[in-house]
């Protein structure tokens, strides 16, 4: 057997896993699919293996250079007119035709195993050092990697524990290719080929539909529009029950065609399909073939908000009064609530100590005073630091910061490799681009993580306009006030004619210095 030694060429092209992963289209990938020789072993069909291998090659941005499929179980026993694919694969490896071999799984069956051992020995000999097996990259020169490959070949658990079990075979095949399956996600529609009926794409369902409210009022909506509206409201702090009421009041049917329920809205706002992700058994397993309906920022803000343990879903959604139960009595510590008063010619509404009537203040005046003070505080130029200082130890923030630091170190390593000529300028440029994007993302996450979701987009220069825009959304305003301030009402004192003012409130901000002045 004539063997050309191509070791030098392969090792020069890509010397490490990192350079291979950053190599993009320069990397030539050969893939090999093989039907199991053992009928009892429930491996994946060669078709599914092929799809999964292609998905892996695409995910890494490599160039698919050749493919070999051994489908015929009896090929080894009968003389065939064609040379077995296995032989062609061995020839291609010998000729140095690729930089990485992509296979989906390595059989436990002894006869199949012998085949892989042969391929592996040849690869080692010619310097084809990289194997991508089931999405994991191995370097045959690394003794740990060789051991892991060995484990795969002999351990039954490997197949049993992995998602690659037989039941899910078809689903995983489609999932890996990013294709949707099952019921169409509300907000999307699927476009099929008119003749073959094959799925061509999944896209936002922007069809304009009409809804008739109970009072006969007709309005227009689209499924995609409803999804976006739900995310906008959730991230804006609107309680689920308010969103539910609003959709039902407009007569818009739910995904099941009935009335909306909170649970359905919540599930939608937590569904990663809306940022274009493919989910299997509750886990994101990759990018779908469709585009997101909402931004990733919006999605993750919704997730944070809905999974915030301090948010109670049973809370009354429509609090009519801005400050009931938020402002407390400075004397007895009890809550205040609305009290209608008609005495000595004055008719109006008060916030009044609920239990003992120790203190009271006119509702309209207190509402206005508190809102002014809160908006002035939210408008402060240093509000970012004030809000994030307190939560600097927050796990999210520290994690994001650590990640950004680690990525910066990676980038430095790349720079050194590029300077010493160990990686090509093209590889470096590619790696740098990817790393910089990731660093920026983690920095942004670290900066935002300390800001409670309900305050995002409502602080600093945006505070005044954002508050005005909230209008009658009392529930959101209450969330904000409760979050930032602790307010107690002080009795006016008998015969005191001083107009309502700062002296009537014992006010503490929950962020920053404890005794900040209330500017109002």
Question: Which region, judged by CB under 5 A, interacts with Zn ion, from 267-275, 283-291, 334-342, 470-478?
Answer: 334-342
Residue 286 or residue 491: which is nearer to Zn ion going by CB? 491
- Does the footprint of Zn ion cover residue 366 (CB under 5 A)? no
Residue 45 or residue 337: which is nearer to Zn ion going by CB? 337
Least Å distance, CB 275 to Zn ion, is 49
Least Å distance, CB 329 to Zn ion, is 3
CA–CA gap between residue 251 and residue 495 (Å, rounded) = 54
Least Å distance, CB 491 to Zn ion, is 8
- Does the footprint of Zn ion cover residue 249 (CB under 5 A)? no
Contact flags string 277-316 toward Zn ion, x per CB under 5 A = ----------------------------------------
Residue 290, token pair as written in the block? 């469709």
Residues 6+ apart with CB under 8 A from 230: 243, 265, 268, 269
Q: Residue 113's closest CA among 180, 43, 166?
A: 43
- Does the footprint of Zn ion cover residue 332 (CB under 5 A)? yes
Least Å distance, CB 362 to Zn ion, is 17
Q: How would you classify the pairing of strands 346-353 and 336-343? A: antiparallel
Least Å distance, CB 352 to Zn ion, is 9
Residue 285 or residue 331: which is nearer to Zn ion going by CB? 331
Question: Which region, judged by CB under 5 A, interacts with Zn ion, from 9-17, 76-84, 148-156, 354-362?
Answer: 354-362
Residue 315 or residue 355: which is nearer to Zn ion going by CB? 355
Question: Which region, judged by CB under 5 A, interacts with Zn ion, from 192-200, 259-267, 330-338, 371-379?
Answer: 330-338
CA–CA gap between residue 351 and residue 319 (Å, rounded) = 14
- Does the footprint of Zn ion cover residue 353 (CB under 5 A)? yes
- Does the footprint of Zn ion cover residue 159 (CB under 5 A)? no
CA–CA gap between residue 502 and residue 520 (Å, rounded) = 8
Least Å distance, CB 334 to Zn ion, is 5
Question: Which region, judged by CB under 5 A, interacts with Zn ion, from 111-119, 219-227, 271-279, 331-339?
Answer: 331-339
Least Å distance, CB 506 to Zn ion, is 12
SS3 347: strand
Question: Which region, judged by CB under 5 A, interacts with Zn ion, from 36-44, 196-204, 219-227, 348-356?
Answer: 348-356
Q: What dihedral angle (degrees, nearest 10) is formed by the CA atoms of 437, 441, 446, 449? A: 180
Residues 6+ apart with CB under 8 A from 454: 236, 237, 305, 476, 479, 480, 483
Rule CB under 5 A: which of 202-221 touch Zn ion? none
CB 374 within 8 A of CB 481: yes
CB 69 within 8 A of CB 50: yes
Question: Which region, judged by CB under 5 A, interacts with Zn ion, from 169-177, 251-259, 326-334, 361-369?
Answer: 326-334
Residue 177 or residue 490: which is nearer to Zn ion going by CB? 490
Kindly tell me which residue out of 358, 361, 366, 383 binds Zn ion, with binding defined by CB under 5 A.
Answer: 358
- Does the footprint of Zn ion cover residue 397 (CB under 5 A)? no
Least Å distance, CB 351 to Zn ion, is 11
Count the site residues for Zn ion by CB under 5 A.
Answer: 7
Residue 269 or residue 359: which is nearer to Zn ion going by CB? 359
- Does the footprint of Zn ion cover residue 506 (CB under 5 A)? no
Burial of 157 (0-12, 13-18, 19+ CB in 10 A): exposed
SS3 87: helix
Long-range pairs of 214-220 with CB within 8 A, sequence gap ≥ 24: 214/249, 214/251, 217/250, 217/251, 219/250, 219/251
SS3 30: strand
Kindly tell me which residue out of 163, 211, 331, 447 binds Zn ion, with binding defined by CB under 5 A.
Answer: 331
- Does the footprint of Zn ion cover residue 327 (CB under 5 A)? no
Q: How many residues does the chain have?
A: 520
SS3 449: helix
Least Å distance, CB 360 to Zn ion, is 10
- Does the footprint of Zn ion cover residue 181 (CB under 5 A)? no
End-to-end CA distance of the chain: 91
- Does the footprint of Zn ion cover residue 489 (CB under 5 A)? no
- Does the footprint of Zn ion cover residue 241 (CB under 5 A)? no
- Does the footprint of Zn ion cover residue 122 (CB under 5 A)? no
CA–CA gap between residue 431 and residue 22 (Å, rounded) = 6
Kindly tell me which residue out of 4, 73, 356, 416 binds Zn ion, with binding defined by CB under 5 A.
Answer: 356
CA–CA gap between residue 252 and residue 213 (Å, rounded) = 8
Kindly tell me the sign of the dihedral angle through the C-alpha atoms of 257, 259, 264, 268. positive
CA–CA gap between residue 67 and residue 34 (Å, rounded) = 11
Residue 452, token pair as written in the block? 């409670």
- Does the footprint of Zn ion cover residue 492 (CB under 5 A)? no
Rule CB under 5 A: which of 1-20 touch Zn ion? none
Q: Where on the chain is the footprint of Zn ion (CB under 5 A)? A: 329, 331-332, 334, 353, 356, 358
């Amino acid at each position: 057997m004539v063997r050309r030694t191509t070791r030098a060429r392969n090792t020069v092209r890509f010397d490490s896993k990192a350079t291979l992963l950053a190599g993009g289209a320069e990397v030539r990938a050969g893939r090999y699919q093989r039907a199991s020789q053992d009928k009892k072993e429930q491996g994946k069909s060669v078709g599914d293996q092929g799809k999964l291998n292609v998905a892996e090659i695409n995910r890494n941005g490599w160039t698919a250079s050749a493919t070999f499929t051994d489908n015929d179980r009896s090929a080894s026993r009968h003389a065939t007119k064609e040379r077995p694919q296995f032989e062609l694969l061995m020839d291609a490896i010998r000729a140095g035709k690729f930089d990485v071999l992509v296979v989906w799984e390595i059989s436990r069956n002894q006869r199949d195993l012998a085949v892989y051992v042969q391929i592996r020995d040849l690869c080692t000999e010619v310097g084809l050092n990289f194997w991508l097996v089931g999405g994991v990259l191995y370097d045959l020169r690394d003794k740990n990697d060789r051991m892991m490959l060995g484990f795969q070949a002999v351990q039954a658990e490997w197949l049993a524990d992995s998602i690659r079990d037989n039941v899910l075979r078809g689903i995983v095949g489609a999932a890996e290719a990013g294709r949707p399956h099952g019921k169409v996600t509300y907000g999307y529609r699927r476009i099929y080929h008119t003749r073959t009926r094959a799925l061509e794409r999944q896209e936002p369902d922007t069809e304009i539909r009409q809804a008739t409210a109970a009072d006969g009022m007709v309005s227009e909506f689209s499924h995609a529009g409803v999804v976006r509206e739900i995310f906008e409201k959730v991230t804006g702090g609107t309680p689920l029950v308010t969103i539910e009421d609003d959709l039902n009041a407009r007569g818009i049917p739910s995904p099941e065609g009935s009335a909306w329920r909170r649970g359905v809205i919540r599930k939608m706002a937590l569904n990663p399909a809306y940022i274009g992700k493919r989910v299997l058994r509750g886990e994101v397993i990759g990018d779908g073939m469709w585009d997101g309906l909402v931004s990733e920022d919006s999605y993750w803000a919704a997730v944070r908000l809905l999974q915030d343990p301090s948010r109670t879903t049973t809370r009354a959604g429509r609090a009519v009064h801005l400050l009931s139960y938020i402002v407390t009595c400075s004397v007895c510590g009890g809550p205040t609530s609305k009290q209608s008063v008609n005495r000595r010619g004055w008719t109006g509404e008060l916030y009044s100590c609920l239990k003992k009537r120790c203190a009271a203040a006119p509702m309209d005046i207190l509402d206005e005073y508190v809102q002014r003070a809160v908006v002035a505080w939210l408008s402060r130029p240093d509000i970012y630091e004030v809000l994030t200082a307190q939560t600097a130890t927050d796990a999210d923030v520290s994690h994001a910061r650590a990640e950004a630091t680690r990525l910066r170190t990676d980038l430095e390593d790349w720079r050194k490799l590029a300077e010493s000529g160990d990686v090509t300028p093209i590889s470096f440029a590619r790696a740098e681009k990817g790393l910089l994007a990731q660093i920026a993302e983690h920095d942004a996450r670290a900066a935002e993580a300390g800001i409670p979701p309900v305050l995002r987009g409502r602080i600093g220069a945006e505070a005044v306009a954002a508050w005005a825009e909230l209008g009658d959304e009392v529930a959101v305003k209450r969330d904000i006030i409760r979050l930032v301030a602790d307010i107690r009402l002080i009795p006016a004192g008998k015969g005191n004619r001083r107009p309502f003012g700062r002296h009537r409130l014992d006010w503490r901000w929950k962020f920053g210095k404890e005794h900040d002045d209330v500017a109002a």
